[in-house]
Amino acid sequence: MDIGSYVIMGIILGICAIGIIILGVVQFRSKKPCNFYTGEKFDPKEISDIPAWNHRHGIMWILYGLLFPLLFVVELLIKNPLVFGFMFIGAVLVPLPFMVWYHHHLLKKYRVKK
C-alpha cells in the first residue's frame, strides 16, 4: 500500500475510534443509567449502583474504541493488507458477543430484583 492509503485508513480508523471512545466517555460520566443496545431504557430505581453501572459500560466502549488505533499500528508494522483485513474483521466482530455477554452480566449484578 502507498502512503496515501495509510493516511486514508488512519483517518477512517481515527474517526471510528474517536466516535466510540466519546460514546464511552459520555456513558462513563452520565448521571442516569446508560443503555447498551436495542434502545433499552432503565429507570434510575432499576439499577442499584448507577455510577458503577455507567463506569463499567463506559470503560467497555473505551477499550473497544482503542482497538482501532491499535489495529492501525499493527498494520503499519506488518504491511500486509490481507492479514490486516482479517484482523480488522476479527477486532470489530469478535468483541461484540463478549460485550453483549458483559452487559447481561452487569444486568444480573446491578439490576434491582423485582
Q: What are the tens digits of pLDDT across the range 37-86? A: 878 888 999 999 999 999 999 999 999 999 999 999 998 898 888 888 89
Query: Using one digit for the tens of pLDDT, what is the confidence trace for 3-37?
Result: 898 899 899 999 999 999 999 999 999 999 999 88
AA identity, residue 69: P
Query: Cα separation of 41 and 59, whole Å?
Result: 19
- pLDDT at position 38: 73
Query: What cell was used for 34?
Result: 446508560
Cα distances (Å, whole numbers) of residue 34 to 16, 42, 83: 20, 8, 36
**Strand (E) or helix (H) holding 35:** none
Query: Cα separation of 61 and 18, whole Å?
Result: 11
